[in-house]
């Protein structure tokens, strides 16, 4: 018997049947394709919704990154809000990357590039202006810290990240780690439905 898929599986083994989903992202109704084997593969995750409702629009230009894009809700929202910016969607999961690329194309979002994490550095040599992410908490604390250290380290000096983390899955301890161990400036900018939205900036 094969092991069950995780949303951070590189190649999901579960059936990838596409299904349409009508969803509202920051006040805009869109129809997207979703599938099993990716994060929140049948709906808009509550934490992602909390982040989308809490944050201001990203910069109008520059490089915006969705770390762990899933089927692409954060990518789509950033690309719609900032059509002159470059939006880079990143996920280890091949099916997630395919879904995000499909959804961006179907919505006419030609400012989106979808890549595996290993391909991202070549696109980000000038740094990142803003990150939006519902990070993969369930990969474990060590891998999560490594992931955040890598991506937050790519922020431009005036850039920042918007992260949403469930309170019961360690949002407050992650807040402390980001501030005390990683040495970033962290502010809890929203708290709703059991989730925290953390705004993270490089410390001057």
CATH of the domain at 97: 3.40.50.150
- Structural domain including 93 reads 19-202
pLDDT tens, position by position, 77-131: 999 999 999 999 999 999 999 999 999 999 999 999 999 999 999 999 999 999 9
Please give the span between the terminal C-alpha atoms of the chain, in angstroms, as a whole number: 52
* Per-residue model confidence as pLDDT tens digits over 150-178: 999 999 999 999 999 999 999 999 999 99
- Count CA atoms within 13 Å of residue 60 on its CB side: 0
For 74-92, write each residue's pLDDT tens digit: 999 999 999 999 999 999 9
Buried b (16+ CB within 10 A) or exposed e, 95-106: bbbbbbbbbbee
Q: Is residue 64 in some structural domain?
A: yes
Cα–Cα distance measured from residue 136 to residue 130, given in angstroms and rounded to the nearest whole number: 18
- Is 144 part of any domain? yes
Do the Cβ atoms of 163 and 135 come closer than 8 Å? yes
What is the token pair recorded at 99? 């879904």
| Predicted structure pTM score | 0.92
Tell me the mean pLDDT in the region 34-44.
94
Q: What is the DSSP letter of 133?
A: E
CA angle 181, 185, 189 (to 5 degrees): 120
* CA pair distance 99, 18, nearest whole angstrom: 9
**Structural domain includes residue 8:** no
In a domain? residue 14: no
| Total tally of structural domains belonging to the chain | 1
């Amino acid at each position: 018997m094969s092991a069950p898929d995780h949303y951070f599986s590189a190649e999901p083994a579960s059936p990838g049947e596409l299904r349409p989903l009508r969803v509202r992202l920051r006040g805009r109704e869109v129809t997207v394709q979703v599938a099993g084997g990716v994060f929140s593969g049948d709906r808009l995750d509550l934490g992602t919704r909390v982040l989308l409702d809490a944050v201001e629009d990203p910069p109008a230009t520059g490089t915006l990154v969705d770390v762990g894009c899933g089927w692409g809700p954060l990518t789509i929202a950033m690309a719609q809000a900032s059509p002159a910016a470059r939006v880079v969607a990143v996920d280890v999961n091949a099916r997630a990357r395919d879904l995000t690329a499909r959804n961006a194309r179907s919505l006419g979002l030609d400012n989106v590039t979808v890549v595996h994490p290993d391909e991202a550095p070549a696109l980000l040599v000038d740094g990142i202006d803003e990150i939006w992410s519902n990070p993969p908490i369930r990969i474990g604390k060590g891998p999560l810290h490594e992931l955040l250290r890598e991506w937050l380290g790519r922020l431009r000096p005036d850039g920042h990240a918007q992260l949403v983390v469930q309170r019961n899955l360690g949002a407050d301890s992650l807040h402390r780690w980001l501030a005390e161990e990683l040495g970033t400036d962290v502010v809890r900018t929203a708290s709703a439905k059991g989730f925290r939205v953390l705004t993270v900036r490089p410390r001057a």
